[in-house]
Amino acid sequence: MLVTHSSIVFIDNPQQSTKGMPAGPVESGYVAHQLLAGVYDSIPSLEPTAEDTARAREVMSLLQSEAGTQWARSGSLRRREPRSMDNTFTNLKKHSWETDAHLNPNRVEIDLTLAHLPKRAEDLVKSHKAGHKKGGESFSGLPPGFGYEDALVLAAARWFKHEYFRWADPIKCACGGDTTYEGQGEPSAEDLQGGAGRVELHKCTACEKDTRFPRYNTTEALMRAKVGRCGEFAQLFYIFLLALGLEARYVWNSEDHVWTEYWSPTLQHWVHVDSCEAEVNKPLLYDRGWGKMQAYCLAFGAAGAEDVTKVYVDDMAACLRRREDKWRQGTGWEEDHLAWLLLTHTVQCRGLLDEEERLVLQSMDEAQARWAADEGERWREAEASGLQGRQSGTEEWKEARGETGK
């Protein structure tokens, strides 16, 4: 049986061919609903055929009629999340869809910048196999038996934090004096070109001149400035992971932090990496180390989005209570709706891939789910990895955010 909806043709029987469903938001939302309901057991192909295109034209004509207008209006009556959360989710989608715009124009410079890292990774692997810690070096939270990709990320994270990128605070004046935060300034044309919609002003306590701190977002501007806080660290490091040929995701935390993950072919799960701290595979760093009371941890990458909160918190039951409080205050999502939003985005990302690619991603999903479900093993890894309070940032700033672990 065929069901027409919006500008496409849906098939409500999963045994029939689903070839022809385009990866737009409405049809992807439908597929996500069917997946959550257990009607589908995997993401189908959404590649349209010529026949489906002809059907779509017929449906568009219907929608432009008075009856279609009334149907569209009725859809607007459904419950929605607060606009601020809609905006948050929309902005996070960019980490799935806009990576090429950050990567491709700067590819030559990025490749030259990262060219030394494979050798460092090989040295880490050799050191690990030799059974000693080179120069007193540990391997962060990586378990025994880690692979080349894991060593590559660890080498990249350490280089990025200690040699390449600089933490912004404390912000010093050109005269060498200390500064105090004065508020927001007006972005210049150059700031806007670098993706800086916000500019901080810091007044010198000695000469009283302002020091500007544009919050850049483009790869070119970040590679030029080489300075920032966690947002800038995570944004540029995410692009660098992709440039190294790794599957990577950008992780947003509702308590004002961001980091990245990469897929480890050896460990067979998504692995936490925080370039601010140069730490790898320490997902409970924020909960147990920093003492952070988290609500949402959402990961976005080229293959979709996932709620990864359970991997990053110690007590999921308490976390769910915090999430419900946030939802009631307008700063969170209703649980079923969030699951649908994330799955809809994933369907959009994967719907036009060929079957072989979709099966590989499904296999990765299943491996990740098995690892995430093994709470005991994750806790044992956390105990062995040595978690501590936050290292990046000034002491006053960390204390104000409650991230010292005290």
Residue 63 in contact with residue 7, Cβ under 8 Å? yes
User: Token pair for residue 159?
Assistant: 């280089």
**What average pLDDT does the segment 389-397 reach?**
71
For residue 27, what pLDDT band results from cuts at 50, 70 and 90? confident
Asked whether residue 354 is domain-assigned, the answer is no
Where does a domain end: 225, 243, 259? 225
* Amino acid in position 59: V
User: Token pair for residue 209?
Assistant: 């001149």
Higher-confidence residue of 203 and 379: namely: 203
pLDDT at residue 78 in the model: 44
Please say if 204 is a catalytic residue. Answer: no
pLDDT at residue 337 in the model: 95
In terms of DSSP bridges, do strands 166-167 and 179-185 run parallel, antiparallel, or are they unpaired?
Answer: unpaired
pLDDT at residue 62 in the model: 56
pLDDT at residue 22 in the model: 37
Asked whether residue 293 is domain-assigned, the answer is yes
- Using the Cα atoms of residue 87, residue 88, residue 94 and residue 97 in order, give the sign of their dihedral: negative
Catalytic residue among 150, 274, 287, 307: 274
Where does a domain end: 81, 99, 133? 81
Asked whether residue 16 carries a pLDDT value surpassing 50, the answer given is: no
User: How close are the terminal C-alpha atoms of the chain, in Å?
Assistant: 61
Looking up residue 201, the CATH number of its domain turns out to be 2.20.25.10
The per-residue pLDDT of the chain, averaged, comes to: 86
> Do 37 and 147 fall within a single domain?
no
Catalytic residue among 173, 204, 230, 297: 230
> Do 9 and 126 fall within a single domain?
no
* Amino acid in position 288: R
Q: What is the DSSP letter of 51?
A: H
Is it true that the peptide bond before 22 is cis, omega within 30 degrees of 0?
no
Asked whether residue 366 is domain-assigned, the answer is no
| 166 phi and psi angles, rounded to 5 deg | -120, 140
**pTM of the shown model:** 0.85
> Do 47 and 193 fall within a single domain?
no
Q: Which of 355, 346, 352, 321 is nearest to 335 (CA)?
A: 321
Residue 32: domain span: 2-81
> Do 275 and 311 fall within a single domain?
yes
pLDDT at residue 405 in the model: 66
| Strands (DSSP E) found in 186-243 | 199-204, 210-214, 227-228
> Do 162 and 256 fall within a single domain?
yes
3-class secondary-structure state, position 11:
strand
306-342 confidence digits (pLDDT tens):
999 999 999 999 999 999 999 999 999 999 999 999 9
Residue 160 in contact with residue 114, Cβ under 8 Å? no
pLDDT at residue 1 in the model: 25
> Do 287 and 317 fall within a single domain?
yes
115-141 confidence digits (pLDDT tens):
999 999 999 999 888 875 554 457 888
The least confident of 62-66, 144-148, 149-153, 202-206 is 62-66
Q: What DSSP assignment string belongs to 348-365? A: HHHTTS-HHHHHHHHHHH
177-200 confidence digits (pLDDT tens):
999 999 999 999 999 999 999 999
pLDDT at residue 118 in the model: 98
pLDDT at residue 357 in the model: 95
Asked whether residue 124 is domain-assigned, the answer is yes
Number of domains comprising the chain? 3
pLDDT at residue 341 in the model: 96
Please say if 257 is a catalytic residue. Answer: yes
**What average pLDDT does the segment 97-103 reach?**
92
Of all residues in the chain, what percent carry a pLDDT higher than 90? 67
Higher-confidence residue of 12 and 80: namely: 80
Catalytic residue among 102, 128, 257, 269: 257
> Do 100 and 124 fall within a single domain?
yes
Asked whether residue 24 is domain-assigned, the answer is yes
> Do 159 and 241 fall within a single domain?
yes
Please say if 337 is a catalytic residue. Answer: no
